[in-house]
Amino acid sequence: MEFNTKNYDYLIVGAGPFGMIFAYEAAKRGKRSLIIEKRPHIAGNTYTHTEHGITVHDFGAHIFHTDNKEVWDYVRQFATFNGFQNQVIANYKGSLYNLPFNMNTFYEMWGTKTPQEAKDKIEEQKQAALKDLGDRQPRNLEEQAISLIGTDIYEKLIKGYTEKQWGRKATELPAFIIKRLPVRFIYDNNYFNHRYQGIPVGGYTQIFEQMVSDSNGLIDILTDTDFFDHKETLLSEFPRIIYTGMIDQFFDYQYGELEYRSLRFESEVLDNDNYQGNAVINYTDAQTPYTRVMEWKHFDGLADDGKTIITREYPQDWDRTKEAYYPVNDERNTQIYKQYAKIARQTQSNILFGGRLGKYRYFDMDQVINDALNTVRQEFNIPQDFNFAHDKIESNQ
């Protein structure tokens, strides 16, 4: 099979945000790309579709949140964002708590009413549980969590969720994972601290469709096409490649497998106007096999046909037959990744590795977009202060 029939400038492996943005920005600069994608659709894990007037996120809830003004302006060129703020409820064995950890959670857990009362309670629990911590940094997720919010919240809202999500003990996980969640001493249930937040009205897929239609024919996409089914041909036919798949797979796992965590999603359409009264409910005990339940109509409040769609998210072990959703950025994997990054630099000067899997980083969408734009800056010698958000291609139509 011949791929580079149109003298493409780039082969892009993966039609997720990283690959799509690179192709779009390359098209702005007159460069032609072929994107190959092993799934039947574009948009990677941000893919959404609409059913019963409800926008469903096929690979888990995707809420856009960032402090990066350029990235925020960039995505808003392609869609109108609603003002959705994620306000997650935790269900621990039938009792409900507000997330992230804030004055509401502390009141629900302990009846404390002032910041000082809550801080005293946390300090008391921290001292009792982590006697030897002293001035040293927490060594793992459990120590980090207890030092931030004490043992009660750790036991009820973190331990069970974390251990089923990651498939290992919280003492064997890196501390940074729990620092994704805010801890606040005000009454504020916003799951993120970022200034700019929302979800594109109509979903994410349209953003990437628009990039293709605005590219003046310079982007072609082959879906249902796996790079590894044609690796040698593709490597020999294309002068420059952007690769957003798993970096260890690219190198045939020669330094060993990196670890990933996988997920399984189970969705249901219900003849029920309002199933759970909130967009996301987390099940934080160890026994419930899923971590969270999303009810999609609550992400935009638009649908009203008497039906609702819910999705349960089940964590599962990763193996080579499953999708790699999360990198596990612990010490061991970080060392292995460094070996792959080194061999990539040394032997693959015509290939750029990017995105969550190519860089093996727990990137959110805004970080991936920022990384993609920086990669474009390097590739095209664009000055650091150039603002991509003010540079949209005018559509032909």
Judged by CB under 6 A, which of 79, 122, 178, 199 binds ligand UDP? 178
Is there binding between residue 294 and ligand UDP (CB under 6 A)? no
Angle at CA 352, nearest 5°, toward 347 and 354?
130
Is there binding between residue 63 and ligand UDP (CB under 6 A)? no
Judged by CB under 6 A, which of 46, 48, 147, 165 binds ligand UDP? 165
Helix 17-28 / helix 205-213 crossing angle, nearest 10 deg: 20
Q: What's the token pair of residue 140?
A: 């793992």
Is there binding between residue 343 and ligand FAD (CB under 6 A)? no
Are 186 and 119 contacting, i.e. CB atoms less than 8 angstroms apart?
no
Helix 103-110 / helix 141-153 crossing angle, nearest 10 deg: 60
The stretch near ligand UDP (CB under 6 A) out of 3-11, 105-113, 131-139, 157-165 is: 157-165
Is 240 marked active-site? no
Q: Which amino acid is at 219?
A: I
Is there binding between residue 226 and ligand FAD (CB under 6 A)? yes
Is there binding between residue 27 and ligand FAD (CB under 6 A)? no
Are 242 and 12 contacting, i.e. CB atoms less than 8 angstroms apart?
yes
The stretch near ligand UDP (CB under 6 A) out of 72-80, 174-182, 198-206, 247-255 is: 174-182
Residue 243 pairs in a beta bridge with: 13, 353
Under DSSP, the state recorded for 392 is P
Judged by CB under 6 A, which of 248, 300, 356, 370 binds ligand FAD? 356
Residue 38: which of ligand FAD, ligand UDP, none does it interact with, CB under 5 to 8 A by kind?
Answer: ligand FAD
Is there binding between residue 49 and ligand UDP (CB under 6 A)? no
Measured CA to CA, the distance from residue 21 to residue 189 in angstroms comes to 32
Is there binding between residue 181 and ligand UDP (CB under 6 A)? yes
Measured CA to CA, the distance from residue 32 to residue 24 in angstroms comes to 9
Residue 10, SS3? strand
Is there binding between residue 248 and ligand FAD (CB under 6 A)? no
Are 215 and 50 contacting, i.e. CB atoms less than 8 angstroms apart?
no
Q: Which of 259, 364, 366, 371 is catalytic?
A: 364
Give me the count of residues in the chain: 397
Nearer to ligand UDP, 193 or 223 (CB): 193
Is there binding between residue 162 and ligand UDP (CB under 6 A)? yes
Is there binding between residue 151 and ligand UDP (CB under 6 A)? no
Show the binding pattern over residues 250-289: x = contacts ligand UDP (CB under 6 A), - = does not: --------------------------------x-x-----
Is 32 marked active-site? no
Measured CA to CA, the distance from residue 15 to residue 40 in angstroms comes to 10
| Sign of the CA dihedral running 21, 352, 260, 223 | positive
Please name the residue that has the structure tokens 């003002």: 83
In this structure, how many other beta carbons lie within 10 angstroms of the beta carbon of residue 137?
A: 9
Is there binding between residue 167 and ligand FAD (CB under 6 A)? no
Residue 157: which of ligand FAD, ligand UDP, none does it interact with, CB under 5 to 8 A by kind?
Answer: ligand UDP
Nearer to ligand FAD, 117 or 323 (CB): 323
Give the shortest CB-212-to-ligand FAD separation in angstroms.
Answer: 14
C-alpha 263: how far from chain center: 13
Measured CA to CA, the distance from residue 393 to residue 387 in angstroms comes to 14
Q: What share of the chain is helix, strand, coil (3-state, %, to 5)?
A: 35, 20, 45
Is 313 marked active-site? yes
Positions that interact with ligand FAD (CB under 6 A): 13-19, 36-39, 44-46, 59-64, 226-228, 244-245, 263, 325, 355-356, 363-366, 368
Contact set with ligand UDP (CB under 6 A): 90, 99, 157-158, 161-162, 165, 177-178, 180-181, 282, 284
Catalytic residue numbers?
180, 184, 261, 292, 313, 362, 364
